[in-house]
Structure 1
Amino acid sequence: MIAILMSTYNGSLFIKEQIESILKQTNKEWLLYIRDDGSTDDTRMILQEYAKKNPNKIHLLRDEFMNMGAGRSFMYLLKVVDADYYMFCDQDDVWMENKIERTYSYLRELEQKYGENTAIGVFTDLTVVDADLTVLMPSLWKGDNRNPDFVYDFYKQWTNRHASYGCTQMFNLAAKKLLLPYRQFEGTMGAHDNWVEYILIKKGVYDYIDESTILYRQHGTNVVGANFSHSYKDDIHKIFHDPSLLWGKIVKDYKRMKIMPFHVSLSKVLWYRFYQSIEAFIKKSL
């Protein structure tokens, strides 16, 4: 069974479309577990209505923690829900009808190759849309210069912009056992997806499907969204001219390294960042 884990917070505007897209999935071997993180709008009422109409598919979790923040809320769900496979689900996107089927199929292929006791995760591309679902970017990876191949090199993934988003991830039970206990990164609202990718790249198998399986909605209240105006090369160019910016990144690197449950080489992180700075500066100057 596949457990879909959804954390909600004041999501009444788009939550119905998201749940409807899950109910329309071609793969029906799933259960949706939802934890509301202290909403003050109509989100809880909407969730109760869907759970009442779909008691065999949708389960609402209740606890005393109230507002935990997105990352901790998602990982709390992972801790308390028992399943064979897990997916994270945002409250405001729309899943393509074959999202579960495609992701699960490839994950099973990897399990046949590496064994079911191997921690394995899979992620996909995203189609970026606005609040009305008008397509802004058919491929986040291509349109926003994100390279999914970086997951094959831990230090490239650590020091570059990520192509792996939690709302496209699926992983198996063996992966869950590695991912808990969860440690929240300082100063981040989400970061549960970063935690998943770092650990699976280092300790398991983490691969991707080069196609979009989700309409990733951009609007004014996203916890984390795509930043189209940001250019990583421009950022590196600024760092080259202002070393204090690089120092800030190194401090952030160090804080994250201390949290990880395995050794991360500071010298390798520094080398990768230095190499990227030089490469970007040369390209910018041409």
Structure 2
Amino acid sequence: MVKVQVLLSSYNGAAYVEEQIHSILQQQYPPISMLIRDDGSSDETPELLKRLEAAYPDRITVMIGNNVGVVASFFELLQHSDPAAEYICFCDQDDVWLEHKVESGVARLKSAIYTEVPAMLFTPAHLTDEHLNRLGVWPKPPARQPSFYNALYENIAIGATIMMNATARNLFVNSRKPNSSNILMHDWWFYLLVSAFGTVIYDHLPSMLYRQHSHNVVGGSNTLFGKLKSKWASFKRHTGTDLLRKQAQEFREIYGARLSSEKREQLDLFLSSRRSLSERIRYISRSKLYRQSHAENLLFKFFILIGFI
């Protein structure tokens, strides 16, 4: 059986991280190792992790670091990840993995067509409260296929569900390290990267319990009010502040020369100046970029027309 390595970044996660780690160690797929980086916790998380490392020395390796933020922390984990691992998983500290998660992911990615090119798999999750009572499956399936043209505008991959092959990992590790301050989230960066050069796979089968509590970095909701609130918060975070443009520019500088001519043309079009209304109308007519929701597509185009993006 091929090796799988799980990368976990922790920060003040003592309340839940041990339960999460045990759900990984109890996976139906046994050859799993964990590389855990603590991002400068001020609670007892580092001591708890060190105890678990001592209890499972062949399966858990712990790195204690300074607080650099979730994106930089995951990027550092990738730089130190096992080059012999065939598959890499991202992991959050406060969720619980279902027993089939790793086995199902390996089965989907093991096909020969997904070994020579970068490949990434993601799934929905069972949304739960802090006590793991299930609230429903979240998010709903993508309305359109995952692609680079979607990834420039929108992230649809829950980071904690992502499994990627070694080819995707090596593409990242063997390239210039991105400036994490220009990256919206580590999972979004990998959706961009893998969709640009390989295959992104959506599996409809939920793979974990996604715990919602007051300290979530990114949360989900299945209520109408919750969805609207989440979407509005996302628009406020990602528009009008040049964050999408900075992320796209960072991607252009690192990987632009390797892109196909069509993808590079669309990326450059997105990065182009749109100072006048006529330039913004011309951009909308030529752009192939899209969001999954028809309503969000219209809203995004409206923001472009008024010069907000």
TM-score (norm 2): 0.75
Shift of 1:117: 2.7
**2:187 & 2:202 partners in 1: Cα distance?**
14
Checking the alignment, whether the CA contact within 8 Å between 2:9 and 2:93 is kept in structure 1 is yes
**2:32 & 2:192 partners in 1: Cα distance?**
26
Task: Give, as a single letter, the amino acid of the residue that structure 2 aligns with 1:259.
Answer: E
Checking the alignment, whether the CA contact within 8 Å between 1:185 and 1:259 is kept in structure 2 is no
| SS of residue paired to 2:124 | strand
Q: Could you tell me which residue of structure 1 aligns to residue 126 of structure 2? A: 127
Q: Could you tell me which residue of structure 1 aligns to residue 178 of structure 2? A: 183
Q: Point out where structure 1 has 5 or more consecutive residues left out of the alignment.
A: 240-244, 282-286
Residue identity (%): 30
Shift of 1:49: 1.4
Within 5 A, what are the aligned runs for 1:108-187?
A: 108-109=110-111, 112-114=112-114, 116-137=115-136, 139-142=137-140, 147=142, 149-151=144-146, 153-160=147-154, 162-180=155-173, 181-184=176-179, 186=181
Q: Point out where structure 2 has 5 or more consecutive residues left out of the alignment.
A: 257-263, 271-282, 303-309
Shift of 1:101: 0.3
Q: How many positions carry a matched residue from both structures?
A: 262
| SS of residue paired to 1:128 | strand
Distance change in 2, residues 1:172/1:271 (3 Å): closer
Checking the alignment, whether the CA contact within 8 Å between 2:123 and 2:206 is kept in structure 1 is yes
Shift of 1:158: 2.9
Worse-superposed segment, 178-187 or 252-261: 178-187
Shift of 1:41: 0.7
Task: String of CA shifts for 1:1-28, please: whole Å, max 9, x gaps.
Answer: 1110011110000011101111110001
Task: Give, as a single letter, the amino acid of the residue that structure 1 aligns with 2:298.
Answer: S
Q: Could you tell me which residue of structure 2 aligns to residue 231 of structure 1? A: 228
For the aligned residue pairs, the C-alpha RMSD in angstroms reads: 3.1
Distance change in 2, residues 1:234/1:214 (3 Å): closer
**1:270 & 1:117 partners in 2: Cα distance?**
27
| SS of residue paired to 2:94 | coil
Task: Give, as a single letter, the amino acid of the residue that structure 2 aligns with 1:78.
Answer: L
TM-score (norm 1): 0.81
**1:164 & 1:4 partners in 2: Cα distance?**
17
**2:116 & 2:80 partners in 1: Cα distance?**
20
Q: Could you tell me which residue of structure 1 aligns to residue 197 of structure 2? A: 203
Shift of 1:119: 1.1
Q: Residue 93 in 1 paired to residue 92 in 2?
A: no
Q: Could you tell me which residue of structure 2 aligns to residue 284 of structure 1? A: none
Q: Residue 9 in 1 paired to residue 6 in 2?
A: no
| SS of residue paired to 1:212 | coil
Distance change in 2, residues 1:158/1:250 (3 Å): farther
Distance change in 2, residues 1:42/1:214 (3 Å): same
**2:143 & 2:33 partners in 1: Cα distance?**
28
Worse-superposed segment, 75-84 or 269-278: 269-278
Task: Give, as a single letter, the amino acid of the residue that structure 1 aligns with 2:249.
Answer: K
Shift of 1:84: 2.2
**1:278 & 1:105 partners in 2: Cα distance?**
38
| SS of residue paired to 2:23 | helix
The match for 2:246 among 255, 260, 263 is: 255
